[in-house]
């Protein structure tokens, strides 16, 4: 598979543990089956110098319910991503990865209950959840390897790739559910504090083997991104995002983006959030809000796709949005 950037196939594996206390090596895989209106993501970040991993699993169901698991299992090294029931296996670098999870997950008929995690974990039941997915590359692996001491405290080295996804989910005693769709994978390593990045909106989606996109904007709605079209990466030189929120909340519900591509084309993208869960990352008394939305996208030519819209909002920005459009 084509590689774009100063990365190598072996960068798909874990790296030597860095000296920083907050050294983090994380992998993330989202997956969406548009025919079922079902999807989710798995993420594990090794923080071996701090003695633990961060593990997150989310599955959205067609009826609006969701399963959620977050844990900080103990680890002592950065040799593999395998903790808390979640395991990531690189089958063929740049080409194929297997993700598996087996364990209990919180089952919420109303996923916005996670606005109060303590209450949500007390008042909602847990279900056994089994995930077994194969992620096959459909686009180039792209990214960069940063340099130690460059001042970047968030995703210093970073790769992404659009993937076809197949496999199964099993919820409790129910029959296994086949999954066939697409998603994005993300891998980063280096020092990381979630509080070290400005507020952002990360828009990812896939429309088939031949077309995927990633758009990143700031809290002001301005940003850049790219489309993968077959084996090519087309840069988005300018993105202008508008967002509709649920009244008096940070919960995004609809979005639209005007895009100027590097090859001179102009495109427009609309997004409708089909499933939503509010999460947070707390450090030193500061709560970073992370809104995760399973999103249906429609391009200007009518083509539809699915993906994730992640809205990270730092404490200083949390009083500025509400019903506002960006």
| CATH code of the domain covering residue 142 | 2.40.370.10
User: Looking at the structure, do residues 143 and 253 belong to the same domain, yes or no?
Assistant: no
Over 80: is that where the pLDDT of 156 sits?
no
Question: Count of residues for the chain?
Answer: 326
Domain assignment present for residue 12? The answer is no
Mean pLDDT computed over 165-191 = 95
For the stretch 218-251, pLDDT in tens is 999 999 999 999 999 999 999 999 999 999 999 9
User: Looking at the structure, do residues 50 and 171 belong to the same domain, yes or no?
Assistant: yes
User: Looking at the structure, do residues 161 and 307 belong to the same domain, yes or no?
Assistant: no
User: Looking at the structure, do residues 86 and 36 belong to the same domain, yes or no?
Assistant: yes
User: Looking at the structure, do residues 262 and 289 belong to the same domain, yes or no?
Assistant: yes
**Last residue of one domain, picked from the residues 192, 212, 247:** 192
Give Cα 239 to chain centroid, integer Å: 19
Domain assignment present for residue 151? The answer is yes
Q: What percent of the chain has pLDDT over 90?
A: 84
User: Looking at the structure, do residues 82 and 164 belong to the same domain, yes or no?
Assistant: yes
d(CA 165, CA 274): 19
Burial category of 255 from C-beta neighbours within 10 Å (exposed 0-12, middle 13-18, buried 19 and up): buried
Segments forming the whole domain that contains residue 182: 1-7+17-192
Mean pLDDT estimate for the chain: 92
User: Looking at the structure, do residues 308 and 269 belong to the same domain, yes or no?
Assistant: yes
For the stretch 84-108, pLDDT in tens is 999 999 999 999 999 999 999 999 9
Domain assignment present for residue 254? The answer is yes
At residue 321, the pLDDT reads: 47
Q: Which residue has the tokens 């995760």?
A: 292
Over 50: is that where the pLDDT of 324 sits?
no
Burial category of 173 from C-beta neighbours within 10 Å (exposed 0-12, middle 13-18, buried 19 and up): exposed
Q: Which two tokens stand for residue 258?
A: 């005007």
User: Looking at the structure, do residues 25 and 173 belong to the same domain, yes or no?
Assistant: yes
Over 90: is that where the pLDDT of 280 sits?
no
* Counted domains in the chain: 2
Determine which helix (DSSP H) or strand (DSSP E) holds 133, and give its type and residue range.
strand 126-137
β partners of residue 233 = 228
**Last residue of one domain, picked from the residues 144, 172, 192:** 192
Domain assignment present for residue 120? The answer is yes
Q: Which two tokens stand for residue 138?
A: 């459909």
b/e sequence 211-241, b meaning 16+ C-beta within 10 Å: bbbbbbbebebebbbbbbeeeebbebeebeb
User: Looking at the structure, do residues 55 and 181 belong to the same domain, yes or no?
Assistant: yes
**Helix, coil or strand: residue 90:** strand
User: Looking at the structure, do residues 201 and 151 belong to the same domain, yes or no?
Assistant: no
User: Looking at the structure, do residues 38 and 182 belong to the same domain, yes or no?
Assistant: yes
**Helix, coil or strand: residue 75:** coil
d(CA 15, CA 35): 37
User: Looking at the structure, do residues 93 and 130 belong to the same domain, yes or no?
Assistant: yes
């Amino acid at each position: 598979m084509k590689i774009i950037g100063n990365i190598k196939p072996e960068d798909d594996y874990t790296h030597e543990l860095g000296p920083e206390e907050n050294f983090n090596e994380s992998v993330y895989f989202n997956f969406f089956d548009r025919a079922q209106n079902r999807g989710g993501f798995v993420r594990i970040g090794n923080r071996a110098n701090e003695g633990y991993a961060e593990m997150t699993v989310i599955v959205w169901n067609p009826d609006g319910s969701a399963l959620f698991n977050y844990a900080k299992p103990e680890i002592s090294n950065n040799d593999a991503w395998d903790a808390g029931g979640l395991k990531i296996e690189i089958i063929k670098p740049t080409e194929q990865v297997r993700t598996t999870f087996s364990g209990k997950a919180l089952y919420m008929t109303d996923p916005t209950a996670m606005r109060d995690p303590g209450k949500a974990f007390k008042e909602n039941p847990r279900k056994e959840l089994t995930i077994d997915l194969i992620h096959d590359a459909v686009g180039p692996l792209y990214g960069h390897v940063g340099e130690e001491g460059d001042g970047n405290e968030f995703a210093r080295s970073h790769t992404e790739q659009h993937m076809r996804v197949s496999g199964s989910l099993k919820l409790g005693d129910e029959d296994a559910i086949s999954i066939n769709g697409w998603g994005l994978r993300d891998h980063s390593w280096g020092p990381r504090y979630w509080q070290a990045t400005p507020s952002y909106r990360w828009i990812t989606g896939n429309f088939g083997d031949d077309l995927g996109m990633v758009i990143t904007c700031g809290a002001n709605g301005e940003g850049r991104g790219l489309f993968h079209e077959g084996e090519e990466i087309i840069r988005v030189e300018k993105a202008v995002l508008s967002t509709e929120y649920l009244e008096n909340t940070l919960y995004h519900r609809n979005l639209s983006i005007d895009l100027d591509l590097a090859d001179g084309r102009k495109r427009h993208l609309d997004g409708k959030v089909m499933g939503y869960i509010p999460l947070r990352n707390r450090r030193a008394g500061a709560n970073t809000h992370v809104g995760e939305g399973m999103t249906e996208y429609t391009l200007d030519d009518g083509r539809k796709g699915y993906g994730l819209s992640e809205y990270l909002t730092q404490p200083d920005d949390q009083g500025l949005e509400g019903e506002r459009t960006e």
